[in-house]
């Protein structure tokens, strides 16, 4: 499984002077195409579900996670969500290891306040968080610095300034490199942008020199799929034939342009894998009847499964009659870092202190983590600026040092 810690992946890109492609995925064809491009170019890749409908998350996120399991290149999954703790927790539960937090608030203080809670929840679960404030809320380098410091996010997605066309979705206008450079100087952390498809290779390189470590890409992928469907229909071919190949060609072109091609091996060697953790909760229940136990097991699943960071909670009864513990819940968490917040959560305490049934006896909890797949280096890429004395991510290779002058 090549699901990789997103904070580490972006820090690696930042240090080494390239950008990871954050490709929007709205169906299996586009997912297949993007993954084929990443494998062909040996590039790390960031998958972003392209849907605002939460009901579609349950279909897209498991498919992305399955693709990551099969991949030979590093993969991360980032979900764009409203800065709301409940929505953030649901996205994490479904399989993302990064969230982009958006806010509807129109003032700086209210936007910061809204993002804070969701960012704290993500951080407690080990999940990478970035904020995408509106240009009206964050328009200066000082505001960008204040927003990141007060909200607690690990990254910032910037609006570069070009105006989006109402006819074809392309972005026209001049990128505000001066503002980008000033924000980079102020923050010294990996930035991300949604750059559209009208920039030249030189313009992309300028973005990367000024701190951009991830480039969101959506519009052209949708156009490529539409063009292929129209061509297929005009020749009576299968309407969906060749879409994933067309998407792969488009995505691979940009992976090479952004410098991520050929980086897979070093990212896998230097960045931590994203692996789950588990906790077994064992218990006996005195004279509880079989009917009581069905209710208790279901209630335990509901209570534990609702704690942020929990992917799944399944209860069951022992098969062997002479077992020391007759009932158990298997709790799967998104990441080992989520274990601490899980243990401290009020619902976990309530579970342990008899809310399920007053006759609970001898309850025992055992945490586990998955083994293998860790970074080969003893000095992994720092996940956040807080790990450095200066509060800024230092360059690892002076030959690739970004322009901070």
Instruction: For each of the domains in the chain, give its residue range(s) and CATH number, in order of start.
Output: 6-273+380-395 (3.20.20.70), 277-369 (3.30.70.100)
Q: Distance between CA atoms of 67 and 22, rounded to whole angstroms?
A: 15
Give SS3 for 136. Answer: coil
User: Half-sphere exposure of 390 toward its Cβ, with a 13 Å CA cutoff?
Assistant: 9
User: What residues contact 172, with CB distance under 8 A and at least 6 apart?
Assistant: 162, 163, 164, 165, 198
Note whether 131 and 139 are within 8 A (CB). Answer: no
Give the residue-averaged pLDDT of 128-141: 90
Distances (CA, A) of 155 to 102, 107, 121, 283: 12, 20, 15, 42
Greatest alpha-carbon span in the chain? 74
| Torsion sign across C-alpha atoms 371, 373, 378, 383 | negative
User: What pTM was estimated for this model as a whole?
Assistant: 0.85
Note whether 25 and 31 are within 8 A (CB). Answer: yes
For position 77, what pLDDT does the model report?
97
User: What residues contact 191, with CB distance under 8 A and at least 6 apart?
Assistant: 155, 156, 157, 158, 180, 183, 184, 210, 211, 212, 213, 214
What is the DSSP secondary-structure string of 306-326? Answer: TSTTEEEEEEEE-SSTT-S--
For position 120, what pLDDT does the model report?
96
Model confidence pLDDT, tens digit, residues 364-402: 888 887 765 554 443 444 444 434 333 444 444 434 445
Give the residue-averaged pLDDT of 50-61: 82
Give the residue-averaged pLDDT of 287-295: 81
Residue 23's DSSP bridge partners are 47, 217
For position 1, what pLDDT does the model report?
58
Residue 285: CB atoms within 10 A of its CB come to: 20
Q: For the chain, what percent of residues have pLDDT higher than 70?
A: 83
Q: Distance between CA atoms of 348 and 366, rounded to whole angstroms?
A: 14
For position 260, what pLDDT does the model report?
97
* pLDDT beyond 80 at 202: yes
Strand bridging mode 277-284 / 361-369 = antiparallel
* pLDDT beyond 90 at 20: yes
Which residues of 243-309 form beta strands (DSSP E)? Answer: 277-284
For position 403, what pLDDT does the model report?
45
Extract the tokens encoding 53: 């409908």
Nearest to 101 by CA among 76, 79, 73, 125: 79
User: Half-sphere exposure of 285 toward its Cβ, with a 13 Å CA cutoff?
Assistant: 26
- Count Cβ neighbours within 10 Å for each residue of 339-358 and write b for 16 or more, e otherwise: bebbeebebbeebeeeebbe
Residue 238: CB atoms within 10 A of its CB come to: 10
Q: Distance between CA atoms of 213 and 317, rounded to whole angstroms?
A: 48
Determine the length of the chain. 405
Extract the tokens encoding 64: 């992305």
Q: For the chain, what percent of residues have pLDDT higher than 90?
A: 53
For position 356, what pLDDT does the model report?
63
Note whether 207 and 193 are within 8 A (CB). Answer: yes
Distances (CA, A) of 7 to 55, 67, 333: 27, 20, 18
């Amino acid at each position: 499984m090549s699901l990789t810690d997103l904070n580490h992946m972006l820090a690696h890109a930042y240090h080494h002077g390239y950008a990871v492609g954050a490709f929007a995925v709205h169906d299996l064809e586009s997912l297949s195409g993007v993954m084929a491009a990443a494998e062909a170019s040996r590039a790390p890749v960031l998958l972003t579900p392209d849907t605002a409908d939460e009901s579609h998350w349950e279909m897209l996120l498991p498919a992305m996670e399955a693709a990551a399991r099969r991949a030979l290149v590093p993969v991360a999954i980032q979900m764009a969500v409203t800065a709301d703790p409940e929505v953030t927790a649901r996205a994490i539960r479904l399989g993302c290891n990064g969230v982009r937090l958006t806010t509807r608030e129109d003032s700086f203080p209210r936007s910061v306040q809204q993002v804070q809670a969701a960012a704290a929840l993500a951080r407690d679960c080990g999940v990478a968080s970035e904020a995408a404030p509106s240009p009206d809320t964050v328009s200066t380098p000082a505001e960008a610095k204040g927003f990141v410091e007060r909200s607690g996010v690990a990254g910032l997605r910037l609006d570069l300034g070009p105006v989006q066309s109402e006819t074809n979705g392309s972005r026209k206008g001049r990128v505000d490199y001066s503002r980008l450079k000033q924000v980079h100087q102020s923050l010294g952390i990996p930035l991300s942008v949604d750059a559209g498809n009208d920039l030249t290779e030189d313009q992309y390189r300028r973005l990367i020199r000024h701190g951009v470590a991830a480039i969101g890409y959506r519009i052209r992928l949708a156009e490529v799929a539409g063009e292929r469907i129209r061509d297929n229909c005009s020749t009576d071919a299968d309407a969906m034939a060749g879409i994933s190949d067309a998407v792969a060609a488009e995505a691979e072109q940009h992976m090479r342009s952004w410098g991520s091609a050929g980086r897979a091996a070093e990212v896998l060697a230097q960045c931590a894998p994203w692996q789950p953790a588990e906790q077994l909760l064992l218990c006996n229940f005195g004279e509880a009847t079989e009917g009581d136990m069905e209710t208790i097991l279901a209630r335990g699943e509901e209570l534990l499964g609702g704690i942020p960071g929990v992917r799944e909670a399944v209860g069951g009864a022992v098969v062997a009659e002479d077992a020391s513990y007759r009932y158990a819940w298997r709790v799967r968490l998104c990441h080992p870092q989520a274990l601490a917040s899980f243990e401290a959560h009020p619902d976990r305490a309530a579970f342990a202190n008899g809310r399920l049934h007053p006759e609970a006896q001898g309850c025992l909890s055992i945490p586990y983590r998955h083994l293998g797949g860790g970074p080969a280096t003893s000095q992994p890429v720092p996940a956040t600026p807080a790990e450095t004395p200066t509060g800024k991510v230092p360059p690892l290779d002076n030959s690739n040092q970004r322009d901070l002058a």
